[in-house]
Structure 1
Amino acid sequence: VQSGKYQYSQYALPYMMNPRLMFVNVSLLKEEGLNVPEESWTPEQFLALCRQLTRDLNHDGTPDQYGVVDYDWLDLAEASGLDLFSDDGHNVDLRGDQVRKVTETYRQLTEFMGSQTEREVLMEAGRVAFAPMSYAEFITYNPWPWKVKKYSGFDWICISLPQAADRTIRYAGNSLVMGMSAGTRDGELAWDLMKEFCVNQTTQTGILEHSQGMCVLQTDKSLLDAFLDDSGLSGDTVRAIMNQEGTRVRFSKYESAREQLADRMEKAAADPEDLDLQLVEIEETIRSYLRS
């Protein structure tokens, strides 16, 4: 429901969700003598696995097998429970010890990360162990016989993203919401239509069975388990993700501010210069943008 809020007012109802998952190359882990992580794995365990899995197989001085691909600074910040923006959207806080710790950890993680531009090549070749993946991508390319064949040369599954044990867990993913125009002449009909899509159990079950999204309403446990049976994603994982706390308070520049922050923090992580000075400069830049 919070995904349909702007600041503290409700403007829309959730219709379909697209949870964010972690692709796991099970075959690669087995080759390296490693187990699939538990659902409660932490960023520290994630970093340790990526370190073990990154290898220079042909001894040319450059890794050709990687721990992870397409995992960004914001992923790690979310995993650590960082609350960076004020609720009113006028401030950002990067001066805490936790921000420095996350950025230093991300610096280490980039040593075991494949190029984002080569994500598909690395995944299709089975040369990367982990990659964030949306539910929509999973449901399109998972190894069911009646789905599109992709990443079919090895065994893979999806699990939850790593999360700090003491963090306030929030929903990770996107949502499709449905709203009503304030100027509509048919408010009652529009409201009935919104309820048909967003609240009707039969319609919501149809979303699960016939779309690339996850239904918003809780379905019967046995129905979801049967739908996901042998898919490489457990019903318990989906329920755990969907039952997490909602999204953060949105404000007018939320998405663009997050993108700018992520871009600058990733550049800071790649820069050997003084991190404290960089954090001060980034904070001032983002704060000026928010207040402009």
Structure 2
Amino acid sequence: MTVPDAHATLGWHHVYSGKVRDLYEHPQHPTLMLVVASDRVSAFDHVLEPGIPGKGALLTQLTRWWFDRLAVPNHLAVVDPDGPALPEVPAELADRAMLVRRLDMLPIECVVRGYLTGSGWAEYQASGTVCGIPLPAGLRDGDRLPEPLYTPAFKAPLGEHDENITFERSVELVGDAAATQLRDASLAIFSAASAIAAERGVLLADTKFEFGTDPAAGVLTLADEVLTSDSSRYWDAALYAAGGPSRMDSFDKQIVRDWLAANWNKQGEPPALPPEIVERTAARYRELIDRLCA
């Protein structure tokens, strides 16, 4: 997995790479970080080849678009007229990079589900619950839930799977006040974002948020990518209402997952993605941007 040259002449040094994002720090600006969304695509815990052209820029554009519309503190760095100038972002990273404030991140992934699908549907079929929360009998895959569910997960160490946990367990991990703040903020953001998406003919089925606290002010702050195709499941509202096999086609990398599931036994390294799968996936990412941001 390669990372872009962040130009040491501008002071940025690579410190970490996840499956799809790279982080940089600047020794002269210790309170800031540079978060870069790559074109890499992952599925079934593997980074695949090739990437999805333009994906990093699209995810960054969508995150910024949502930050502009959500009335909650976020981690984007802004110019302080009375403070020092912000460091320069390398030009070749500018369209897929966010200059952000360094936060004390909380180890909770804040998942909100508005519809029954995915792993929630699998659990419901087995036990009538989602993350241990009982639901009414008779629901179908894709049904809207009676009310959005907050189902937190514990962020596992690098290379391990996140673990679904109860709200009570999140209290044990971060304390009652912080756990309650995380739940209430996540549900409020989900509600606001769902309404904005619905105005544009798009359903927000589920999403996940990450938060940290500002070391100076102690304020709960929304971080990382927000309401993107990689962190959220979006459906076309008209197709959903019409029913049929395509009603839950999502604006994300599901095309990649489906192709890989049909063409790889999950042993060894995954095969390279065909050009047609790459282009169809890129088109789905672009379509969501066009639908939401127009």
Name whichever structure is richer in helix by fraction. Answer: 1
* TM norm. shorter chain > 0.5: no
TM-score category of the 2 structures, normalised to the smaller one: under 0.3
Higher strand share: 2
